Amino acid sequence: QVQLVESGGGSVQAGGSLRLSCAASGYTYSSYCMGWFRQTPGKEREGVAVLYNGGLSTYYADFVKGRFTISRDNGKNTLYLQMNSLTPEDTAMYYCAAAGRWGCGGYIGSVFPSSRFGYWGQGTQVTVSS
């Protein structure tokens, strides 16, 4: 049973930083694929950053390149998302996600499909004010 628990969200002013954490239990697949998605009301969930291909490859959405960094601590079974230079457009519910034993493949075009992930956390809210 895979369980994902996010933390670290909150309110910050534009230009500020936050670090999200995702504590994963029961996730032991060698085909490691975990990432962060975000969603705002009325919009589809979109991929933000993903560690895939056994953790050897990294995907970042164009809108976060150079600002966000995804990383993991194997010893703590924790996935992180360091978010710098936040803007009001980054305001969203952020979700941690993990793929199953077969991994998650790669991104298509510039998008990482959320349908490839079978495990989701409850989400953590990030609010950026101008």
Which pLDDT tens digit goes with each residue over 73-127?
988 899 999 999 999 999 999 999 999 888 898 888 889 999 999 999 999 999 9
Nearest residue to 4 (alpha-carbon basis) of 72, 61, 85 = 72
Q: Which positions ≥6 away from 21 have C-beta within 8 Å?
A: 6, 7, 8, 78, 79, 80
Residue with tokens 């959320």: 114
Task: Give the pLDDT score at 28.
Answer: 80
The model's pLDDT over 14-46, given as tens digits with 9 standing for 90+, comes to: 999 999 999 999 888 777 899 999 999 999 999
